[in-house]
Amino acid sequence: RPLGSDRLMSLLALREAGGWAGLADRVGCEQALARAQAFFDRGPSDADPEWMSFYGRAELEGLEAQCWSALGDWPRAARHARRAADLQDPHFTRNLALYSAELADDLARGGRPDEAAGAGMRVLDLLAEVQSSRVGTMLAGTARVLLPHRRNPGVSAFLDRHAALPRPA
């Protein structure tokens, strides 16, 4: 039943899409993503809960990137993660780091090590301003995927810098 807020319905549909993606149900995920986009495109309204102020186009793109990543569609995941990072207000450093870490991982898994290392370096720059165990975990996964490409100078620089990060106790 309708909740009165198209933005809330959009976010709920995105969460549903993430669930379908986690179950490897591409069709269910695509259907939920289409609903999320349609609700989002209706725009904000007075019925939107105040706590949803975080939910904009960047968040929508970031959550969609996570869906495609869970389904193993690395090019599509990277495209949405890049959009999320590009759209994110740089004032929200943690979100920018999160979307950029998603981008780095999707690029690495999609066989684009140079671009992945570049995105990973941007995340390392952002980690000077924000602490996030989630971003750190994502970046560690990216580093593991990039290890076979260590001879590439850009990848090597990223791996060395990542290895020099202080580790949590």
d(CA 39, CA 114): 36
In the chain (169 residues long), the average pLDDT of successive 10-residue segments reads 83 98 98 98 93 93 98 98 97 95 98 98 94 93 98 97 83
Predicted TM-score of the model (pTM): 0.92
Count Cβ atoms below 10 Å from residue 165 Cβ, excluding itself: 13
